[in-house]
Chain A
Amino acid sequence: MKHASTLFCLLLLFCCVSGTVHAQYDESTVKAVYIGRFAQFVDVPHDSAAVITIGVFEKQGLTPSLMTVYKTIRIKGRRVAVQFYPSIDSAICQADILFIPQLKPHELKRILNIVRTCPVLTIGNSKGYAEQGVHINLYRSQNTIRFEINQKAVEESSLHMSYKLYELARIVHPTRAGNK
């Protein structure tokens, strides 16, 4: 089992090093890698922590892939920690990246309200999340994992996102509900 885990990590490393996510890897792994790469294009002011924390709200879904991928891979040279938040409270502000699974609307709204005042990059994986205020939202298009960015939400946050992400992303505009 241990050997199998090591072999997978090596393969993943190869994929990451090559910078290309191939179809033979599962979608969760690709999304987990994408999450780390988004972080490479986003600067957080006064961020000097040695560890980048990816906050998750469920133990299933993308979390196992995140834990597997970032067991060895570093972002911006820093070690990555996957932090599970069982509840939605102000603790989520301690995370650097917050992966938001498909939640109930009020839960999403609550999360967005909490992180509005703290420099947390929010990444969603559900349709319409970007319009609702999540900074980056993953979606599938023509059998390819793509992403969309709520530029206004990013600009209103204290985060600084590279234009390179904007060039690749689909820019969405927030809905009225989202802005509230």
Chain B
Amino acid sequence: MKIRTLSIKDKLVMVILSVTSVALVTAFTISLLTSIRRLKNDMIDDTLLLTDYISESAISPLLFNDKTGGRDILSKTSIIEWIHQVIIYDAEGNEFTRYSRREHGNTPPLVNEPDIRMFIDDHLYVSKAITYMEEDLGRILVIASTDKLNKKIASQLMTMGVILSVILVFSYYLALRLQKVISFPILFLADVMKKLSINEDYSIRVSKRSNDEIGVLYDGFNQMLSQIQRRQRETEDARESIQISEARLAEAQRIAAIGSWELNLEDGSMVFSDEMYRLMDFDRLSDPTLDVIYNGLSKGEGQKFTVCMDEARKTGRGFELKCMHKVPGHKRRYILLRGEIQNNKEGMPVIMHGTVQDVTKQNSAEMEIRKLNEELEQRVAERTAELQSANEELEQFAYVVSHDLKAPLRGVSQLSQWLIEDFSDKFDLEGKEHLYLMKQRVHRMYKLIDGILDYSRVGRIRERKQQVDCNSVVEDIIASVEHSPTIGIEIENRLPVIYAEKTRIEQIFQNLISNAIKFNDKPEGLIVICSFDEKECWKFCVSDNGAGIEEKYHEKIYQIFQTLASRDDQKSTGIGLTLVKKIVENLGGSIWLESTPGKGTTFYFTIEKRMVALPDAEAADINN
């Protein structure tokens, strides 16, 4: 039986008994050896004492060569049973006399040996010199039997054996009793663990019975159970969450008609989601394979699918493939195949997962939308053409109307002029004032018609594009426009040269600069024109230190016929900024302003560079 297979109880008993046995056997052995040594020494001492006595007694027989006397002395040792032989040698080494209880065949030659005491076989040999008055008279050899000694040793051995056995039996009893102190809590814990592993009831706890290491073990066991219980709870919660998520996913897949699949690239095994089975009309009891997808594809699309899979494996990039799929017994339908590669830690592709989405409805919807778009585009084109035609007719109408209106206006203006010139003396002061007022209104009407004509020409009448140096344009306007000498007009930086209809550019700057002059109420006016080279466009500014425009009018001023001046003010028709805005927007730009009432206004406008870019040939000429 191997020690490791023993129970802890048996191990403890074995350890206790082993230690006790070793300790006892060692102690008893030492004690026995000491006792044997003591017994031997006692025997040696006894024999030496006897030897001394005999030696003393043998002195006079030796001195007087009285062998009979010597024999008489030796014969007295017969009462000592353990003395087997006593031999007295004279000074010359000859045997003087001897006593033998039992003959010993091989008596060692001890005459010339120093005093000896030795155990040979079952006898003790003691020899010493016999001296008297410093005279060496001879030697005595005493041979004693060790039977008694051996019996004593055997007796002690037996006694110790009995004591040892009794102690060992008692130790075994004690070990059996005491081992429970250690083994019981451990066995109890082992029993609890066994029940735990069977019942998986992690709510149980063990109560600590001691504060030693086993107590610590119990605490640790309880803590471990708490942790397992907590983790089990967490696992159950997580599993529940996963189940909910899976159910939601399955529901989502069902609603969206999306099935998911996962291919293990190492062993080729596949997993289908519930919706995948449904989509593929595949038996759940069968092992899912790629063939389930592949078999529903046409040959060409099947090859595409295979190529996509291979590419994904090689490159690690996903794929998306829309194709027609036919499941036997079902209508053909469109599916969208998606695949993604999942790598392991080493960067090797191990999993390919993807989705199969039934996009038949979407496809139909797309086709429907595409069809509707086409119809819409057709309708828009028709409407646009109609609108364009209407616009053109409208603009033509506006032009014709404006042009035709100007003729009677010129007549009214001419008539009023004739009335002033020819009949001024016929009119009183009030009449003259009415005539003057009528002339002004005619003039304003005239300007309005010009403005409407200009407005209608924008986008309708195309001038030839040419290089327009904005600096020259602005400088010409500054030179031609009437303005008070107290108003300074400056060009802050070099303005760009663009390729555009010059009249439109002039109209922009003309209107903005004229407005800046018209509405400047400062004793020393200042108007600054500047430009910025933005990335995609040119940005211009016309800044003045005039009256400024309240914010609520910032958008209103661009509406046609909207003016901040009074209706009777001939300076403003309310068309200028509307015209500017239309020109700017036709050039792909925008217009806005920043103003502080009482301090001044800055108009910004942009023109897209691509709209005013020089043609390549002319650009080359300029560069050359």
Contacts and interface: CB of A to CB of B under 8 A. Distances in A.
Interface of A: 16-21, 34, 37, 40-41, 76-77, 144-147, 162, 164-165, 167-168
A19 B69 contact: no
B63 interface: yes
Among A21, A76, A144, A164: residue with most chain B CB under 10 A: A164
B136 A37 contact: no
B122 to A, nearest CB: 33
Report the 7 A-B pairs with minimum CB-CB distance, sorted nearest first. Answer: A18-B91, A164-B60, A19-B137, A168-B69, A20-B90, A19-B62, A168-B66
Contacts of B69: 167-168
A16 B66 CA distance: 15
Contacts of A20: 62, 65, 90-92, 96, 138
Contact of B133 (A76, A146, A165, A167): A76
Contacts of B62: 19-20
Contacts of A34: 64
B64 A18 contact: no
B59 interface: yes
A17 B91 CA distance: 8
A168 B92 contact: no
Contact of A37 (B63, B91, B92, B138): B63
10 contacts: A19-B65, A19-B135, A19-B136, A20-B92, A20-B138, A41-B60, A144-B65, A165-B60, A167-B72, A167-B73
A137 to B, nearest CB: 14
A41 B135 CA distance: 15
Contacts of B73: 167
Interface string B53-79: 000010111111110010011000000
B330 to A, nearest CB: 142
B132 interface: yes
A19 B66 contact: no
Among B60, B90, B138: residue with most chain A CB under 10 A: B60
A164 B63 CA distance: 11
A144 B69 CA distance: 13
Given A19-B137, A20-B96, 19 more contacts: A17-B135, A18-B90, A18-B137, A18-B138, A19-B63, A19-B65, A19-B91, A19-B135, A19-B138, A20-B62, A20-B91, A37-B64, A40-B133, A76-B133, A77-B133, A146-B66, A165-B60, A167-B69, A168-B64
Contacts of A146: 66
Contacts of A167: 57, 60, 69, 72-73
Contacts of B137: 18-19
Nearest to A37: B63
Given A18-B92, A144-B65, A168 B60 contact: yes
B77 to A, nearest CB: 15
B91 A168 contact: no
B58 to A, nearest CB: 10
Interface residues of B, number: 22
Among B61, B62, B63, B132: residue with most chain A CB under 10 A: B63
Given A34-B64, A37-B64, A164 B135 contact: no
B267 to A, nearest CB: 112
Among A17, A19, A21: residue with most chain B CB under 10 A: A19
A34 B63 CA distance: 8
A70 to B, nearest CB: 15
Contacts of B65: 19-21, 144-145
Contact of B136 (A17, A147, A168): A17
Contact of A19 (B57, B72, B132): B132
Contacts of B92: 18, 20
Nearest to B136: A17
Contacts of B96: 20
Contacts of A165: 60
B447 to A, nearest CB: 182
Contacts of A162: 60
Interface in B106-144: 132-133, 135-138
A151 to B, nearest CB: 16
Given A18-B136, A19-B90, A19-B137, A147 B64 contact: yes
A34 B60 CA distance: 11
A40 B133 CA distance: 9
Contacts of A145: 65
A21 B66 CA distance: 10
A25 to B, nearest CB: 11
Contacts of A144: 65
Contacts of A40: 63, 132-133
Contacts of B133: 40, 76-77
Nearest to B131: A19
Contacts of A19: 62-63, 65, 90-91, 132, 135-138
A154 to B, nearest CB: 15
A20 B59 CA distance: 11
Contact of B135 (A16, A21, A147, A168): A16
A137 B90 CA distance: 25
Interface string B30-73: 00000000000000000000000000010111111110010011
Nearest to B72: A167
B136 A164 contact: no
A29 to B, nearest CB: 13
Contacts of B132: 19, 40
Nearest to B59: A164
A135 to B, nearest CB: 15
A123 B57 CA distance: 23
Among B72, B96, B133, B136: residue with most chain A CB under 10 A: B133
A153 B133 CA distance: 27
Contacts of A17: 91, 135-136
Nearest to B138: A19
Contacts of A76: 133
B98 to A, nearest CB: 16
Nearest to A15: B91
A51 to B, nearest CB: 17
A146 B60 CA distance: 12
Nearest to A141: B68
A162 B136 CA distance: 20
Contacts of A37: 63-64
B44 to A, nearest CB: 26
Nearest to A142: B68
A144 B59 CA distance: 18
Contacts of B61: 168
Among A37, A76, A145: residue with most chain B CB under 10 A: A37
A145 to B, nearest CB: 8
A113 B69 CA distance: 33
A21 B90 CA distance: 11
A111 to B, nearest CB: 25
A164 B54 CA distance: 12
Nearest to A163: B60
Among B64, B72, B96, B135: residue with most chain A CB under 10 A: B64
Interface in B570-597: none
B89 to A, nearest CB: 10
Nearest to B91: A18
